[in-house]
Structure 1
């Protein structure tokens, strides 16, 4: 970690939870305002075997690519100001599970379920990138979040199901969170 600010764990946890609850609230309000009926909104949650397989395969492929790049690129390529490292290092694995479930659900509900459904694939992807502001200062993280955002948007368009992108987003955040958690503890 470079000369980053060190935050107490409870401050980071609260910030993440409050941010995600805000995103979830915005998604809920916009869904009520923008969808013609509850049925139209709930149709976004269709699920079948293909949706699950696509979500799992894409999520695992993204994680594999990130892990390979973590071995090949210098550590500073992944520096987001130390936030991810501090957060995942201080959380217990079950807390990482719950927080990454909340993040995947709230962000995909807003960005793919509401914004992409209402104004399109490209604007939703660009807004998703902009919201991840701490990644904008680091070229590798900016490229990473841009590719991921457009991948999520494309997969949502292809599957027409929020479950596919929930699965992708969750797998990436959870596995990389666990990786960060244990690599910092064991010096991996």
Structure 2
């Protein structure tokens, strides 16, 4: 039997253009599944019931919190994209590749999956331990494709902090989930239809 030598492992840098569409989607859904599982287990280790996080609260004010934050973020993002050169807010073409040729239903599904999985981990689990500030630093760091430029990094940090704030204010995970979902979906649809024109 051949002996395994760890020193012979080589890593090759891959750009977004070298990944085919199928592999891109597999990567997206796999990372979201891992994110959700880690968040779920983390909540269990906190001796909390993860299912209670998804209980719908009475009243509909949490929807207004989520929709209001989403509207604010989209307006700010559109203003930034209007006045700031593209190269300053470049994410390496990842968002363009993810959304540009997707059907509308798939953009909606992807946005919902991403919102639920990431908010479960970041707001539901991590923020409970370290608070919204450090959670937002971690959130911005994990969105590594934005770290090359300070404007998108600052925007991701600010959005994360705002998501943490509305979670604290409303007491329900559904408020940041709605905001995250609407932000991703609307920005995804803008990319999709802008590319079509």
Q: Is the TM value for this pair above 0.5?
A: yes
Partner of 1:84: 95
Partner of 1:42: 52
Question: 1:26/1:43 Cα in 2 relative to 1: closer, same or farther (>3 Å)?
Answer: closer
- Structure number with greater Rg is 2
**Are 2:38 and 1:26 equivalent residues in the alignment?**
yes
Q: What count of residue pairs does the alignment treat as equivalent?
A: 181
The Cα shift of 1:5 comes to: 4.0
Partner of 2:5: none
TM-score by length of 2: 0.86
**Are 2:183 and 1:167 equivalent residues in the alignment?**
no
CA contact (8 A) 1:44 1:113 kept: no
- Gaps in structure 1 of 5+ consecutive residues: none
Q: Deviations over 1:69-126 (max 9, x none)?
A: 2122111122101111111113211111111101000000110011112332222222
**Are 2:85 and 1:74 equivalent residues in the alignment?**
yes
TM-score by length of 1: 0.90
- Give 1 or 2: higher helix fraction: 1
**Are 2:144 and 1:139 equivalent residues in the alignment?**
no
- Gaps in structure 2 of 5+ consecutive residues: 1-14
**Are 2:7 and 1:10 equivalent residues in the alignment?**
no
| Partner Cα distance (1:5, 1:117) in 2 | 34
| Partner Cα distance (1:162, 1:44) in 2 | 7
Partner of 2:64: 53
Runs of 4+ aligned residues of structure 1 deviating over 2 Å after TM superposition are: 43-48
Partner of 2:6: none
| Partner Cα distance (1:128, 1:121) in 2 | 10
